C-alpha cells in the first residue's frame, strides 16, 4: 500500500470518527469543539506521522517516552501527549518535548516533575491518572488517594495540573464503563473548587477506540484514539 492509499484510508477513518464524536456530543447537548481528538500514533512508523499531520491532525499521543522523543524531535510542530507510564529517570528528556503528560501516577513522579519544573521555563501540562477500573494491572492513583495527591500538588506551584485521566475496564459492560467514566468526572468536579490556582481539574482524558462515545457522553474533553483510526491502514506499515 502506497502512502497515498494510507492517507486516503486514514482520511476516511478520521471522518467516520469525527462524525461519531459529533453525534455523541449532540446526544448530551455538548459542543463537539469541547472534545479534543488525540491521535495515538504508537503503532505507526515515524515516516507516516507526516501523513497524519497533513490530514490535518495536530494532537498526537505516544505511550512510550522513547517513541515520543523520537517522533517529537522529527515532528516538532505537532502537540505531543505522553499517555503511558513515565519513569522518573525519563522526566528531564520528556517534559521539554511533550505539551501534555496524561499519566502522572505517583507522588515520586510528582516530586521529580517539580524538580524539573525549577529548571525549565515552561512545564508540560499534567493530568493525574486515576485507576477507575480497579484492575491491579492498571497504573494510577486510587480515588481514595486523590485528596492526598492534590495536597502534595498544592505545594508544587510550578506544576500546571489540568485534570484527570482514566482507562475504563477493557472487558466491562457498557454500564460498568459508563460508571467508571462518571466516577472520573465526579472526582474532578468534587475537588475542582478546593484547589490552588495552578491546579485546575477541567480536563478529562478518557475514552479510546472502543469506548470513546460513552466517554464523550460522560464529559470527556480529550479522547485518545489509535486502532479505530488505523483500521485498514496497517498494510501501509513497512515491516
Ligand atoms: C494505546 C492507547 C490508547 C489508544 O487505544 P486504541 O484502543 O488503539 O484506541 C489510548 N490510551 C492509552 C493510555 C493507550 O496506551
What confidence tens digit (pLDDT) does each residue in 160-180 have? 999 999 999 998 899 999 999
Whether the per-residue pLDDT at 153 is higher than 70: the answer is yes
Contact 37, 58 (CB under 8 A): no
Question: pLDDT (tens digit, 9 = 90+) per residue, 119-148?
Answer: 998 899 999 999 999 887 779 999 999 999
- Taking the centre of ligand 1 as the mean of its atom positions, its distance from the CA of residue 63, in whole angstroms, is 8
C-alpha 179/C-alpha 168 separation (Å) is 9
Q: Is 120 exposed, middle or buried (0-12, 13-18, 19+ CB in 10 A)?
A: middle
What is the pLDDT, as a whole number, of residue 128?
98
Residue 194 pLDDT class (50, 70, 90 cuts): low
Residues with CB under 6 A from ligand 1: 40, 42, 63, 83-84, 167, 208-209, 224-228
Q: Please choose from 44, 83, 140 the residue to mutate so as to test ligand 1's pocket, defined by most ligand atoms within 8 A of CB.
A: 83
Q: For residue 143, what is its C-alpha cell? A: 480515588
Distances in Å between the Cα of 30 and the Cα atoms of 25, 34, 156, 164 are 5, 8, 33, 19
Q: What is the CA radius of gyration of the chain?
A: 18
* Better-predicted residue by pLDDT, 105 or 5: 105
Index of the ligand 1 atom closest to the CA of residue 42: 1
Q: Please choose from 224, 225, 231 the residue to mutate so as to test ligand 1's pocket, defined by most ligand atoms within 8 A of CB.
A: 224
What is the pLDDT, as a whole number, of residue 208?
98
Cell 480497579, residue? 134
pTM as predicted: 0.95
Question: pLDDT (tens digit, 9 = 90+) per residue, 25-43?
Answer: 999 999 999 999 999 999 9
Index of the ligand 1 atom closest to the CA of residue 63: 15
DSSP assignment of 79-97 = EEEE-S---GGGHHHHTTT
Whether the per-residue pLDDT at 234 is higher than 80: the answer is no
Index of the ligand 1 atom closest to the CA of residue 210: 7
Whether the per-residue pLDDT at 238 is higher than 70: the answer is no
C-alpha 207/C-alpha 184 separation (Å) is 11
Contact 199, 153 (CB under 8 A): yes
What is the pLDDT, as a whole number, of residue 233?
87
Question: pLDDT (tens digit, 9 = 90+) per residue, 63-110?
Answer: 999 999 999 999 999 999 999 999 999 999 999 999 999 999 999 999
Contact 209, 226 (CB under 8 A): yes
The reply to whether omega before 56 is within 30° of 0 (cis) is yes
What is the pLDDT, as a whole number, of residue 138?
74
Nearest CA to ligand 1 atom 6: 226
Question: pLDDT (tens digit, 9 = 90+) per residue, 196-220?
Answer: 788 999 999 999 999 999 999 999 9
HSE (CB half, 13 Å, CA atoms) of 59? 17
- Taking the centre of ligand 1 as the mean of its atom positions, its distance from the CA of residue 210, in whole angstroms, is 10
Amino acid at each position: 500500500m502506497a502512502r497515498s492509499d494510507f492517507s486516503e484510508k486514514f482520511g476516511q477513518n478520521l471522518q467516520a470518527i469525527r462524525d461519531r464524536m459529533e453525534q455523541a456530543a449532540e446526544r448530551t447537548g455538548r459542543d463537539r469543539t469541547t472534545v479534543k481528538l488525540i491521535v495515538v500514533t504508537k503503532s505507526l512508523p515515524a515516516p507516516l506521522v507526516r501523513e497524519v499531520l497533513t490530514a490535518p491532525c495536530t494532537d498526537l499521543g505516544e505511550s512510550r517516552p522513547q517513541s515520543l522523543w523520537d517522533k517529537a524531535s522529527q515532528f516538532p510542530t505537532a502537540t505531543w501527549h505522553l499517555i503511558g507510564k513515565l519513569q522518573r529517570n525519563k522526566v528531564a528528556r520528556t517534559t521539554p518535548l511533550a505539551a501534555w503528560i496524561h499519566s502522572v501516577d505517583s507522588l515520586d513522579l510528582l516530586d521529580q516533575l517539580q524538580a524539573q519544573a525549577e529548571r525549565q521555563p515552561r512545564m508540560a501540562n499534567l493530568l493525574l491518572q486515576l485507576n477507575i477500573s480497579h484492575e491491579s494491572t492498571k497504573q494510577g492513583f486510587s480515588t481514595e488517594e486523590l485528596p492526598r495527591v492534590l495536597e502534595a500538588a498544592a505545594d508544587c506551584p510550578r506544576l500546571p495540573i489540568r485534570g484527570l485521566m482514566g482507562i475504563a475496564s477493557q472487558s466491562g459492560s457498557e454500564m460498568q464503563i459508563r460508571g467508571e467514566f462518571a466516577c472520573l468526572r465526579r472526582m474532578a468536579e468534587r475537588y475542582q473548587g478546593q484547589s490552588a490556582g495552578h491546579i485546575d481539574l477541567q480536563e478529562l482524558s478518557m475514552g479510546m477506540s472502543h469506548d470513546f462515545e460513552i466517554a464523550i457522553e460522560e464529559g470527556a474533553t480529550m479522547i485518545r484514539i489509535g486502532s479505530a483510526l488505523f483500521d485498514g491502514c496497517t498494510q501501509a506499515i513497512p515491516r
